[in-house]
Amino acid sequence: MGRKRQPPTVEASHKSRHGHTDALGVRSGDRIYLDAEDEVIHRAWMPQTQTSRNILYGAMRRALPASCVHAGERLVSFKQSGERVTVLFASGRMERGDLLICADGAGSTVRSQLLPGTSPAYAGSVA
């Protein structure tokens, strides 16, 4: 069996100008499911690459012109009009572009605007 990875992450990397490298994360083979007492209840061979927000964010930031990245700004709202999107930041600044990529965390403004009344439900933490 060949090496399998996280298909959406790898596909996005391949479509970028910078392509995919093995620096995308750490390879693992097994997926292990534990019960509440930390006993293994299921183990499956499922090779993939474990990655992190930091690795993905760094790769995307290096691939984009500095003028496209608005780190430190808080997104207040966005509107799409045809093929363009306009964003409003808490500072009062507005930007327009062809694509909006947000990394605004668990309290995502984008999620609340696209899916009003929903919020993420976490069952706990995993590593």
* pLDDT reading at 20 higher than 60: no
Longest dimension (CA), the chain: 53
pLDDT at res. 3: 45
Instruction: Assess contact for 10 and 56: CB atoms under 8 A.
Output: no
* pLDDT reading at 90 higher than 70: yes
Q: What is the pLDDT of residues 45-81, one digit of tens each?
A: 988 878 887 887 788 888 888 888 888 899 999 999 9
* pLDDT reading at 126 higher than 70: no
- Report domain extents, the chain: 1-64, 70-117
Threshold 0.85, pTM exceeds: no
Q: What are phi and psi of 105, to 5 degrees?
A: 75, -170
Q: What are phi and psi of 58, to 5 degrees?
A: -60, -45
